Structure 1
Amino acid sequence: MQARIYKRPKNAMQSGKALVDQWILEFVPAEAKKADPLMGWAGSGDTQQQVQLKFPTEEAAQAYADNYGISAKVHSVPPKRLKIQAYADNFR
């Protein structure tokens, strides 16, 4: 069983920082999704794609994965780069 651990990204429609301090453990899909011939919906028999575990820290998520024998890959968070500029810079 493989999984990935990452920090929840900020939503594009979100200006605040609610829920961005959570770490998520998601399982890697075991099989590809295929279209249902009757309805056209995409689906698969892999139910682990529906599981999403939330943890307060990266260490807690990694400890859970180690405890249950899940090989997890941690995706690090890129550093935030703020572009500091004044309103007057728009008129230069």
Structure 2
Amino acid sequence: MIVRIMGEGQVRLDDVHLAELDELDDELLAETRSGDEEGFRRTLGALLDAVRRLGAPLPDDALEPSELILPSPDATLPEVREMLKDTDGLIPG
């Protein structure tokens, strides 16, 4: 799976890691819906760190179709709330 972190680039991620990421995604969704800014910040950072740790970065000049797009580390809670509107999270589960 190709994952894009907005403002950073793309990462190739094995599907075997989706369960771990889905747990963080569920937390992020709950914090976004409740307006928990501190939890949102912590969990967004943990989700992005996990993608970076578990995935292999693609070269900067690679333009693969992204199957998943994650917000940038500096995304705001309202921006992510808009991304999550009408979904069950960022990670397909």
TM-score norm. by structure 2 comes to 0.27
Greater strand share, structure number: 1
Larger radius of gyration: 1
Greater helix share, structure number: 2
